[in-house]
Amino acid sequence: MRAEGIAFRPLSAFTLNKAQFCLDNGLRLIEGWIKVPYSWQAGETASHYLTQLRDEQKIWGKRCPKCKKVLLPPRKSCPFCFVDTDEWVEISSEGVVEAFTIVRRDTPIQPMKAPFAYALIRLDGADTYLTHVLSEVNLNDIKEGMRVKAVFAENRQGAPLDIAYFKPSDS
């Protein structure tokens, strides 16, 4: 593809950031980005959860008063019973792999270089799965039922990757 270098003043700094009008076999192709700043309110429940990850390296779920399920990540309300959750429950940083998939190709957004694995992990004390990455593991040894534990990041920001990854409990 040949870029013609036509000077183009972005109409909008965010939606046509550095957009270029190119030629693709004689037909115009407009190359740009969808790049828009945004911020998301985590809410009180997720804020407490993420702050505890950062400050205490502790994982907290919330229990539904009706079905008694402990939801992780914690939720303000139980999606099954449609009632407010009312009790914080400390969850173990160890648990069991319930499903996994091995990633063999890098993408620009993954938190580590391939190969690594994603897993659905049921931590001891939780009734739902936490999705996270597995590392420090022989990928061919991963199986459902394998026990894993959280490895916390050294520099924590109150974010899901404050748990850097999970690794086998016995390693």
Binding region for other proteins (CB under 8 A): 15, 24-25, 27, 29, 32, 34, 40, 42-43, 46, 50, 73, 98-103, 107-111, 118-120, 131-133, 139-140, 142-144, 159-161
**Closest of 165, 127, 124, 163 to residue 147, by C-alpha:** 124
What sign does the dihedral 135-138-143-149 (CA atoms) show? Answer: negative
CB of 86 to other proteins, least distance (A): 21
User: What is the token pair recorded at 122?
Assistant: 């049921």
CB of 94 to other proteins, least distance (A): 19
Q: Is 164 within 8 Å of 151 (Cβ atoms)?
A: yes
Name which of 46 and 89 has its Cβ closer to other proteins.
46
Residue 121 CA: distances (Å) to CA of 16, 85, 142, 147, 161: 40, 22, 12, 9, 15
CB of 34 to other proteins, least distance (A): 5
CB of 65 to other proteins, least distance (A): 22
CB of 101 to other proteins, least distance (A): 4
User: What is the token pair recorded at 113?
Assistant: 């270089």
Distance in angstroms (rounded) separating the CA atoms of residues 115 and 128: 26
Q: Note the helical H segments in 42-130.
A: 43-56
